[in-house]
Amino acid sequence: MKQHNNCIDMESEAAPDDAVSMLEDEVSCVINNLLDPPTGFFRYKALQKYISIGEQFYQEACEVERKIHCFETNIQRPYFHVMALDENQLENWHCYLDFVEMQEDFDWAVKLYERCLIPCAVYPEFWMRYVEFMETKGGREPADFLAFVFFPSFVRILLVFILANRLEYDPNSM
């Protein structure tokens, strides 16, 4: 739990949209200079800039990996099972989702929610949280679709979970 608490305290600010746009423009300019340089000197400068930007991307990726490593190592069951998850697992998923939502990367958050719903399929709070996230970030239509498609699955999974637990406690009940 101590390692998990360190993960909870870790926060990161999302990159502003204008900074990302500026970086994309800079990368495009460098690539254009590499493809069509006026002289060898400018080609060398463009290549150095390209390498510098690549190193910057690498450092940023390493930083993100460092931040999510504690969440990833605390995921003990990435698959569905009828056995309930312990409180540390549930808390880890909630904290991981909080962290990713703060990054304001919609695609990353959606992928993590979908990954989370596999081991946490029988916990309605994760389904409701995903629908609320989709309503606020993705719009009403994706949230309605999510509710329409996934809630019937949730009900079926919940029935399997209930039957499995019933059999575990009373094998003669069926």
pLDDT, one tens digit per residue, over 63-73 is: 999 999 999 99
Can you give the pLDDT at residue 50? Answer: 83
The secondary structure of 141-164 as a DSSP string is: HHHHHHHHHHHHHHHHHHHHHHHH
Cβ contact 150:117 at 8 Å: yes
Is the pLDDT at 47 greater than 50? The verdict is yes
pLDDT class of 2 with cuts at 50, 70, 90: very low
Can you give the pLDDT at residue 39? Answer: 65
Predicted model pTM: 0.64
Which has more confidence, 75 or 153? Answer: 75
Q: Which of 164, 139, 138 is nearest to 84 (CA)?
A: 164
- What DSSP character marks residue 31? H
Q: Which of 19, 103, 37 is nearest to 68 (CA)?
A: 103
- What DSSP character marks residue 173? G
Is the pLDDT at 78 greater than 50? The verdict is yes
